[in-house]
Structure 1
Amino acid sequence: MEIGHCLLDGNADAVEFCPHDSFRRVLAASTYTLQEGDHPSRSGSISLFNVDAESRRLQLFHRVETAGIFDIKWSPGGAGGAPLLAQADADGYLRVHHLDCCSDVLEDRDLLDTLPDGGNCLKEVSGEQVSSSMCLCLDWNPSATSISVGLSDGSLSIISLMESKLDIQQEWKAHEFELWATTFDIYQPQLVYTGSDDCKFSCWDLRDCPSNFVFQNSKIHKMGVCCITKSPSNSHMLFTGSYDEYLRVWDVRSISKPVNETSICLGGGVWRIKHHPSVPGLLLAACMHNGFAVVKIKGEKAEVIETYNKHGSLAYGADWQRGEVCQEGKSMSGAVATCSFYDQLLRIWMPESDLEI
């Protein structure tokens, strides 16, 4: 079911629903636009939307202009405190914003009444130039006290956040080429995973300084590693996506090869993987040249149960909305946000498949 769509003000590359319960209807969408010429520049923006799937409402309520953005992430919902949104941008900066009441800048009073918590806007609380290279990806640790940032020169930075102050704790050359994927292990946050255009998939132990390999796999991915995510329902299971079009399922206890030797080919290049917030084993994948896919994981089997192909260019951004909790105490299925690059399009839709497993 289609809920709504919107043209953004630049090339759309990331969408993130806020995972904090009181702000589940807040969606952030980011853009990256290269202005070519004698003096090229990379500009971008973050747009905040109110998404009410039940009433099929998609409303823009705030936008901030920035450098060109490659990645955005909200702080984890269970970390406590106000929601924070981190951006990794083309100027080599990590910036952290928080949601702040903006009722004084909203002219549409009817819109204000529909917004969670009376209307909220982004305010930058901290910014740090990590490198002269571009910041390509980021991830929060589970307690929202540090952020890992992958760089275009193959380096990885670990940056602490304490009382709105960013401080670079570690930085090392993790890969030979662009580092497109970084994620903390949600069960063992001293571990961080990285993936790169050098086709290598690595794990690092932050208790060592400089950090040491826990493992590195350089034989399985036939092209660059675009995304990595740990299963929120199985501490041993991990997923990778690659330009080689495969979604791979791994058991971290035996990392020499995936659980299923071929895993599943989604086509187009697997750029993003997002876990459903309440249904174990259900994934949403952004597949670049092949739209979006909903994938069901059961044991060693991965199966595509739905595809979405209503975007006209590179499928980059994808996320699930946390569902409303109904009277029976069950979480209702939330909406899906997807975005595509060159056509600058954001779409909100509901999967048609039965998502229960």
Structure 2
Amino acid sequence: MTTVTSIQSLILDLPPSCIEFCPAAHDYFIVGTYYLEKKEQDSSTENVVEEDDDEKSEEVDKKPQTRTGSLILFEIEGDEVKQISTTPTPYAILDLHFSPHDPTLLAVAGSTGCVQLFRFSPSSSSISPLSVFQYFDPATLVLSLAWHPTSPNLLGVTVSPGQVCLVDTSLPESEVQDTGKEVLCHDLEAWTLSFSRDGKAVFSGGDDTHLRFSALPSSFFTSEASNDNKKVKEEEETKEEYLPQWQDRRIHQAGVTAILPLPSHPDILVTGSYDDNIRILSTPLIGRKQILAEEDLQGGVWRLKMLKSEPEAGNFTILASCMHAGARIVQVQRRGEGEEEWEIEVLARFEEHKSMNYGSDVQPGSESGGEQTIISTSFYDKLLCLWRSTLP
């Protein structure tokens, strides 16, 4: 295992919570920030997932708290990171993702029950705010989001009360309140979700240690409802439809925080948890879910990002954001021809972060291997680091 050092590091104005490179211009990336305004006579601190520690949810405070944030646009020039612009937001940002259907369209998960869209312009190196969708009560935190892989206007979101919902960005802003379609629900905060590769099902993980799965109603994938066909669509949604579902509460010993389905392996998931472990799971629709391999990464595995994918060979390289342990590059590999034997190897680690590493991403364009440029961040120390690692 190799220990990697940074090429450049810098301190941000606000704590960084999430990051993603711009698919329309690979030298640019965007960082979302999260700031909790402290109350008078309150010297306590809060992290982005708002816990007393890494495994327990915080006590609910009866008094409202003000959270704000920003989107920071950066550019990489050689070995240097340059800050281009900062866009303040009236809410803290917990997650952000560019659309796979439009590489300039960015969705942001807000701490006031909203999802906002932004437009990134490569020609002007700028971010422009678009629609703000107030899907939920302002006291609700939108904890994570994911674009649907085949329906351009659909997003999956998870929220602090525990629900996993589908929301529609084609609706007018003034009409979206309470339109989220609940597809799964956790007993505590729903930290993460991931669609199946074909978009016909969703996986989710929560602070209740549960990993959940549900097929999605076919009505979700009809074309956008117009005035003429809206009634037909509503009638379709009322029809009973058998939706296979399952849940597992035994595999993970703490909250489930990351889910990564493997390409060409429909029943195989890679998951991350507060219990510090990354796991390869067999998750057949019917039958027992089981651990095929697991590895202690020494920190809560908050996010997983594919670095290199060789589905036919059963070989995958993954970037893991490991909270208080920094970042890890991990190889997940199938042994033999079957689906039952897998192994995990930690290839490299980056440990210059002194607080929670929630956000890491890799510069697009080197998925076939070789040297990859990685940006990782940490929350309390507001640190952003540029480093590189050579993949096998």
Rounded Cα–Cα distance in structure 1 between residues aligned with 2:305 and 2:289 = 22
Note the residue ranges of structure 2 that are not aligned, 5 or more in a row.
41-63, 219-236, 335-341
Counterpart residue identity of residue 297, structure 1: V
Look up the SS of the partner of 1:315 in the other structure: coil
Q: Does 1:192 align with 2:239?
A: no
- Residue 46 of structure 1 corresponds to 71
Q: Give how far 1:37 is off.
A: 0.9
Counterpart residue identity of residue 27, structure 1: F
RMSD over aligned Cα, in angstroms?
2.4
Using the TM superposition, name which of 81-90 and 220-229 deviates more: 81-90
Percent identity between the two aligned chains: 28
Q: Residue by residue, what CA displacement relative to the aligned partner does 1:171-191 show, whole Å, maximum 9, x if unpaired?
A: 2561110000111112x2021
Query: Among residues 8, 13, 33, which one is paired with 2:12 in the alignment?
Result: 8
Q: How does the TM-score come out when normalised to structure 1? A: 0.84
Rounded Cα–Cα distance in structure 1 between residues aligned with 2:103 and 2:319 = 27
Rounded Cα–Cα distance in structure 2 between residues aligned with 1:10 and 1:337 = 17
Look up the SS of the partner of 1:333 in the other structure: strand
- Residue 285 of structure 1 corresponds to 320
Does the CA-based 8 Å contact 1:17-1:320 persist in structure 2?
A: yes
Q: Does 1:256 align with 2:288?
A: yes
Counterpart residue identity of residue 323, structure 1: G
- Residue 163 of structure 2 corresponds to 155
Look up the SS of the partner of 1:189 in the other structure: coil
- Residue 301 of structure 2 corresponds to 270
Does the CA-based 8 Å contact 1:99-1:123 persist in structure 2?
A: yes
Counterparts in 2 of 1:253 and 1:140: CA distance versus 1, 3 Å: same
- Residue 214 of structure 1 corresponds to 245
Q: Give how far 1:317 is off.
A: 0.7
Rounded Cα–Cα distance in structure 2 between residues aligned with 1:193 and 1:43 = 29
Counterpart residue identity of residue 301, structure 2: V
Matches within 5 A, 1:301-320: 301-320=343-362
- Residue 62 of structure 1 corresponds to 85
Q: Does 1:346 align with 2:351?
A: no
- Residue 112 of structure 1 corresponds to none
Does the CA-based 8 Å contact 2:184-2:212 persist in structure 1?
A: no
Q: Give how far 1:259 is off.
A: 4.1
Look up the SS of the partner of 2:251 in the other structure: coil
Counterpart residue identity of residue 65, structure 2: P
Counterpart residue identity of residue 201, structure 2: L
Rounded Cα–Cα distance in structure 1 between residues aligned with 2:103 and 2:324 = 36
Note the residue ranges of structure 1 that are not aligned, 5 or more in a row.
101-116
Rounded Cα–Cα distance in structure 2 between residues aligned with 1:213 and 1:177 = 22
Does the CA-based 8 Å contact 2:251-2:291 persist in structure 1?
A: no
Does the CA-based 8 Å contact 1:9-1:31 persist in structure 2?
A: no
- Residue 103 of structure 1 corresponds to none
Q: Give how far 1:162 is off.
A: 3.0
Counterparts in 2 of 1:163 and 1:169: CA distance versus 1, 3 Å: closer
- Residue 171 of structure 1 corresponds to 182
Matches within 5 A, 1:45-194: 45-52=70-77, 55-66=78-89, 67-76=91-100, 79=101, 81-100=102-121, 117-132=122-137, 133-143=140-150, 144-162=152-170, 167=176, 168-171=179-182, 174-186=185-197, 188-194=198-204
Look up the SS of the partner of 1:158 in the other structure: strand
Rounded Cα–Cα distance in structure 2 between residues aligned with 1:228 and 1:127 = 27
Counterpart residue identity of residue 282, structure 2: D
Q: Give how far 1:40 is off.
A: 3.2
Q: Residue by residue, what CA displacement relative to the aligned partner does 1:103-124 show, whole Å, maximum 9, x if unpaired?
A: xxxxxxxxxxxxxx43321112
Q: Give how far 1:149 is off.
A: 0.7
Look up the SS of the partner of 2:372 in the other structure: coil
Q: How does the TM-score come out when normalised to structure 2? A: 0.77
**Greater C-alpha radius of gyration:** 2
Query: Among residues 189, 213, 220, which one is paired with 1:203 in the alignment?
Result: 213
Counterparts in 2 of 1:306 and 1:258: CA distance versus 1, 3 Å: farther
Counterparts in 2 of 1:169 and 1:130: CA distance versus 1, 3 Å: closer
Instruction: Count matched residues.
Output: 325
Q: Give how far 1:5 is off.
A: 2.1
Rounded Cα–Cα distance in structure 2 between residues aligned with 1:331 and 1:125 = 36
Rounded Cα–Cα distance in structure 1 between residues aligned with 2:118 and 2:333 = 37
State the 4+ residue runs in structure 1 displaced beyond 6 angstroms: 163-166
Rounded Cα–Cα distance in structure 1 between residues aligned with 2:283 and 2:19 = 28
- Residue 25 of structure 1 corresponds to 27
Matches within 5 A, 1:236-251: 236-251=267-282
Does the CA-based 8 Å contact 2:372-2:391 persist in structure 1?
A: no
Q: Give how far 1:286 is off.
A: 0.9
Rounded Cα–Cα distance in structure 2 between residues aligned with 1:192 and 1:266 = 26
Counterparts in 2 of 1:213 and 1:130: CA distance versus 1, 3 Å: farther
Q: Residue by residue, what CA displacement relative to the aligned partner does 1:267-296 show, whole Å, maximum 9, x if unpaired?
A: 111111110156650001111121111000
